[in-house]
Amino acid sequence: MDRSLLAPDEVAGLDALLPGWSCDGASLTREFTFADFAEAFRFMVSVAEIAESLGHHPDWSNVWNRVSVSLTTHSAGGLTRLDLALAEAMDEIAEERSSD
């Protein structure tokens, strides 16, 4: 997948493209909330499998039912399509978990 930096106009459109995420121009952040610790951890395991397949890993932390995430492509010095792909995958997984 493309590891080149997103163009400024692409970065500017991320708030509309990824509702629930915040973009500071260099990273995407979001906090996911689940029913309990077990659900939060299952989410992290599912995301970890996708992250491994992409070769792209989130900066994240977990406190009980919350998972805080920050995405950026450190090697590129900002946001790339890898960050978009991982954010979209995280949204899909979280949506699946909330409808279980």
Please determine, for residue 100, whether its predicted confidence score (pLDDT) is greater than 70. Answer: no
Q: Are 4 and 26 in contact (CB under 8 A)?
A: no
**pLDDT category of residue 2 using cuts at 50, 70 and 90:** confident
Predicted pLDDT at 49: 97
Please determine, for residue 8, whether its predicted confidence score (pLDDT) is greater than 90. Answer: yes
Q: pLDDT tens digits, residue range 13-56?
A: 999 999 999 999 999 999 999 999 999 999 999 999 999 999 99
DSSP codes, 23-49: E-SS-EEEEEE-SSHHHHHHHHHHHHH
Q: pLDDT tens digits, residue range 64-90?
A: 999 999 999 999 999 999 999 999 999
**pLDDT category of residue 99 using cuts at 50, 70 and 90:** low
- Predicted TM-score (pTM) of the model is 0.93
Domains of the chain: 8-98 (3.30.1360.20)
